[in-house]
Amino acid sequence: MRPLRFALAQGLLLNDALTALRAIGLDVSRVTPGGRRLVVDGDHVEFVLARPSDIATYVERGAADLAIVGKDVLLETGARVIELVELGFGACRFVVAAPRGAVERSLDEYRHLGTVDVATKYPNVAERHFRARGIAVEIVKVAGSAEVAPQVGLADWIVDLVATGSTLRANGLAVVEEIASSTARLVANPAAYHLRRREIAPVVERLAKWAAAR
């Protein structure tokens, strides 16, 4: 059988994830953030680096057995994986934001025109949220920088992922509502979690202890 394959999200979470894995005694010395080798051997465990949104797909389809990935990615992709440990780092929030001082005006418009345009990189999260709240919106999917959408007249509101909120402030936006909060999670492929429980259980146990001690 191939070694346990552990997928790691490139980007903001990677350094914290490596710290956690080092702390529980896994050999991550060959994983180099920003390096060109994306599949590296780590002594009984193979590490794969991928874009955060692909990590969920890797684990759902069993290409990786375990991964550390943000809850935000899981919420947007709806991937069917087992979420085992809340790791505590990488905290961020999905929020609805609107130009400061313009919330009242856009609500007026909503009553008048019956719909609000919402720009977002996260159409699934946005759609689910507004459907649950019973607000009729048009989702405008953008590939990046949703925060400029109200300024350039692309949309009235945005749904975005924020950590500190400074990007929103810099673009004259204010949080209207919080949708969900997110931190990094240890996730597993359901079949692999069952079949390779003996290998996975110690990782789960040690990461849970590590997270609880923080």
Partner 1 sequence: MSQQSPIGPPRGFRDILPTEARELGLIEQTLAEVFADSGFTPLHPPLLEYGADDSTKRRRIQFLDRDGSLVALRPDLTTSVARLVAGRYREMTGVLRLSYIAPVFREEPAMSGGAREVLQAGVELVGGGGALADAEILALLVESLERCGLAVCESTVQVGDVGLVGGLFADLPEDVRGEVLAALRQGDIAGALRRAQQAAMPPDQLERAAIALTATDIGVGVGGAGELCNVIELARERWPGSAKRWGVPNLALLPALPYYTGVVFEAIHPNAGVIASGGRYDLLFGAFGRPRPAIGFAIDVLQLHRALFADAWEPRSQRPLLLLRASDDERATMRCAAALRAGGLAVALGDVAERAGRAVIEAEVIDERLVRLGDGRVADAAALCLAIRS
Tokens of 102: 């313009």
Contact window for partner 1 (CB under 8 A) among 36-44, 55-63, 135-143, 150-158 = 55-63
Q: How far is the CB of 134 from partner 1 (least distance, A)?
A: 12
Tokens of 77: 């992709």
CA nearest neighbour of 168 among 153, 143, 146: 146
Collapsed DSSP state (helix, strand, coil) of residue 125: helix
Tokens of 202: 């110690």
Contact window for partner 1 (CB under 8 A) among 22-30, 114-122, 139-147, 183-191 = 183-191
Tokens of 26: 């896994």
What binding mask, one character per residue, do residues 57-86 give for partner 1 by CB under 8 A, x or -? x---xx--------x------x-xxxxxxx
Q: Would you count residue 113 as binding partner 1 (CB under 8 A)?
A: no
Q: Would you count residue 191 as binding partner 1 (CB under 8 A)?
A: yes
Which is nearer to partner 1, 172 or 190 (by Cβ)?
190
Q: Is the dihedral of CA 123, 129, 130, 131 positive or negative?
A: positive
Tokens of 82: 């087992």
Token pair 């345009």: residue? 117
Q: Would you count residue 204 as binding partner 1 (CB under 8 A)?
A: yes
Tokens of 89: 């780092």
Rule CB under 8 A: which of 81-110 touch partner 1? 81-86
Tokens of 112: 């008048």
Rule CB under 8 A: which of 22-51 touch partner 1? none
Which is nearer to partner 1, 91 or 191 (by Cβ)?
191
CA distances from 35 to 53, 70, 88 (A): 19, 21, 26
- Residue type, position 100, single letter: R
Which is nearer to partner 1, 59 or 155 (by Cβ)?
59
Q: Would you count residue 185 as binding partner 1 (CB under 8 A)?
A: yes
Residues interacting with partner 1, by CB under 8 A? 1, 57, 61-62, 71, 78, 80-86, 131, 185-186, 190-191, 194-195, 197-198, 201, 204-205
